[in-house]
Homo-oligomer: A and B are copies of this chain.
């Protein structure tokens, strides 16, 4: 039995280490050719890079987000690498969000929850797609109880892609946005968990809110002050630090950067010659990643302070 749930652990980690979540969406194409070729398979290079990143970026991150799609794309070996990556993060005592965006009904949702909250792919927190309805959330949120180990879940609320207008941002008959129905339900679930975790400062179920819409950011942050946010869209996706800073008010959250860190070697000026000569090493690209993580942590902390000042 865990007395604090994983979302509380994450909130505390963000308060101590800053809000940066390092996204290990490690596609083999994010590693230079000359390094890849030194490994028996591309996934062996991915695992080595992940492990090096975990070690070097740890001072600058509060958690890692592992995007399963990139591992699934590499088949069985990819998923073994995914499991190994989760294990390395656990050993480093870093909170892990598995970005799986699963969603299904009844027994099928239960199977997905078992898949990612136990066994080979056991993780701390998952992302969940609510599209099929609120009865499809329960099989996942059940695992947030103390008895089941106090897991956590981030439910998709307001994503960072242009297509979010097609469904999430649709206006309903009563003038509200569809995504508010989801937000309200997450609020309700949060209230429900208060009885079980009275001493904790956030609920075990958070929301995914992209750092791409200034208006939405402030509105959603004020509307759901007790919900922890997982914030994608900062960095490579073009989201500004200021929007992320806004989303970090109230209960706060964690801000993901994946390619901005994984591919930092592509833009690092000190590596220009090695890039051209094809002589980059694993240590080089990891150092560039750690530098980018350090910068992002500072950038986000500054943005958060600026926004806090603005709204105080």
Please name all residues of chain B whose beta carbon is closer than 8 Å to the beta carbon of A114 when the two chains form the complex: 73
Taking a contact as CB atoms under 8 Å apart, the answer to whether A133 and B164 are in contact is: yes
Interface flag for A161 (CB, 8 Å): yes
Please name all residues of chain B whose beta carbon is closer than 8 Å to the beta carbon of A107 when the two chains form the complex: 25, 27
Please name all residues of chain B whose beta carbon is closer than 8 Å to the beta carbon of A161 when the two chains form the complex: 105-106, 132-133, 135-136
Taking a contact as CB atoms under 8 Å apart, the answer to whether B168 and A133 are in contact is: yes
Number of copies: 2
Task: Give the distance to chain B from A209, nearest Cβ to Cβ, in Å.
Answer: 13
Task: Give the distance to chain B from A11, nearest Cβ to Cβ, in Å.
Answer: 25
Please name all residues of chain B whose beta carbon is closer than 8 Å to the beta carbon of A164 when the two chains form the complex: 132-133
Who on chain B is nearest to A105 by CB? B161
Centre residue among A104, A121, A136 by max chain B CB count within 10 A: A104
Interface flag for A250 (CB, 8 Å): no
Additional 10 contacts, C-beta under 8 A, given A105-B159, A132-B167, A133-B162: A67-B111, A69-B109, A73-B111, A74-B115, A75-B121, A130-B167, A133-B159, A133-B167, A135-B163, A178-B178
Interface flag for A224 (CB, 8 Å): no
A133 vs B73: C-alpha distance in the bound complex, in angstroms? 22
Interface flag for A170 (CB, 8 Å): yes
Please name all residues of chain B whose beta carbon is closer than 8 Å to the beta carbon of A76 when the two chains form the complex: 76, 79-80, 83, 120
Q: List 15 A-B contacts (CB under 8 A).
A: A69-B112, A70-B108, A72-B111, A72-B112, A73-B115, A101-B104, A129-B129, A130-B166, A131-B167, A132-B156, A132-B164, A132-B168, A135-B163, A167-B178, A173-B173
Consensus secondary structure, chain A interface: helix
Given A80-B76, A105-B163, decide whether A178 and B170 contact each other with a Cβ distance below 8 A: yes
Taking a contact as CB atoms under 8 Å apart, the answer to whether B133 and A131 are in contact is: no
Centre residue among A27, A76, A164 by max chain B CB count within 10 A: A76
Nearest 3 A/B pairs, CB to CB: A133-B163, A75-B120, A135-B163
Per-residue interface assignment for chain A, residues 147 to 172, with 1 indicating a CB less than 8 Å from any chain B CB and 0 otherwise: 00000000010011111111110111
Taking a contact as CB atoms under 8 Å apart, the answer to whether A111 and B69 are in contact is: yes
Interface flag for A102 (CB, 8 Å): yes
